[in-house]
């Protein structure tokens, strides 16, 4: 079984980090994984995206024609990648910033008010990436929430950001519950 997800948004929305934590969580969960970023000037303020492949056998291509999942953090991301989701796939839509519905009827769409939840429930607008990730793992079941949480905590500890662990845990949980 191979799952893949494209996480896309504005630079600064934390999509690259969310992708790294998902990939790391997948690895910790015993899966084979690849993480591939868009890179270059667009990292600094333009659009950003990364592709994660999670598989129970060695990953061949780290790039995919169609991903089984998409997290669209803003309108350009949904516009660009909606057609890149495979039939039966899952799209997490950030309804806080995206007014339109998903055009396709052959995918599952989960509309989550990511920015509102981060701001109002978590109390930190910057937690949107973890809200999104929580929603995605609920919607797809690709990696258990507790593995993602522990992976996030480990990543925070390793980069000396222990103080953000509780906030990010709350964000993952809030996203999970909202999806």
**Binding residue for other proteins, selected from 24, 47, 49, 129, defined by CB under 8 A:** 24
Q: Number of C-alpha atoms within 13 angstroms, CB side, residue 64?
A: 27
**Residue number, 62 or 141, with CB nearest to other proteins:** 62
**Residue number, 35 or 136, with CB nearest to other proteins:** 35
The alpha helices in the chain, defined as continuous H runs, are 15-28, 75-81, 114-116, 128-140, 145-158, 165-178
Binding to other proteins in span 101-140, by CB under 8 A:
none
Binding mask 29-48 for other proteins (x = CB under 8 A): ---xxxxxx-xx--------
**Binding residue for other proteins, selected from 62, 123, 141, 144, defined by CB under 8 A:** 62
Q: Which residues, other chains included, contact 75 with Cβ-Cβ below 8 Å and sequence gap of 6+?
A: 97, 98, 99, 100
**Binding residue for other proteins, selected from 65, 87, 99, 106, defined by CB under 8 A:** 65
Residue 49 makes contact with other proteins by CB under 8 A: no
Report the b/e string of 92-111 with b at 16+ CB within 10 A.
bbbbbbbeeebeeeebebbb
State in Å, rounded, how far the first CA of the chain is from the last one: 23
Residue 157 makes contact with other proteins by CB under 8 A: no
Binding window for other proteins (CB under 8 A); candidates: 63-71, 74-82, 104-112, 162-170: 63-71
Residues forming the site for other proteins (CB under 8 A): 20, 23-24, 27, 32-37, 39-40, 59-65
């Amino acid at each position: 079984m191979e799952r893949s997800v494209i996480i896309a948004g504005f630079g600064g929305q934390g999509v690259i980090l969310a992708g790294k934590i998902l990939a790391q969580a997948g690895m910790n969960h015993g899966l084979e994984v690849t993480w591939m970023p868009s890179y270059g000037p667009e990292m600094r303020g333009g659009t950003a995206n990364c592709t994660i492949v999670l598989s129970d056998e060695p990953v061949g291509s780290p790039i995919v024609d169609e991903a089984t999942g998409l997290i669209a953090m803003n309108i350009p991301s949904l516009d660009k990648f909606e057609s890149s989701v495979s039939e039966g796939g899952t799209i997490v839509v950030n309804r806080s910033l995206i007014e339109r519905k998903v055009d396709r009827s052959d995918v599952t769409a989960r509309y989550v008010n990511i920015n509102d939840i981060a701001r109002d429930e978590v109390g930190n607008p910057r937690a949107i990436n973890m809200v999104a990730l929580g929603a995605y793992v609920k919607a797809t079941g690709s990696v258990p929430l507790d593995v993602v949480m522990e992976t996030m905590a480990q990543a925070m500890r390793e980069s000396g950001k222990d103080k953000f662990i509780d906030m990010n845990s709350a964000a993952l949980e809030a996203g999970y519950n909202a999806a």
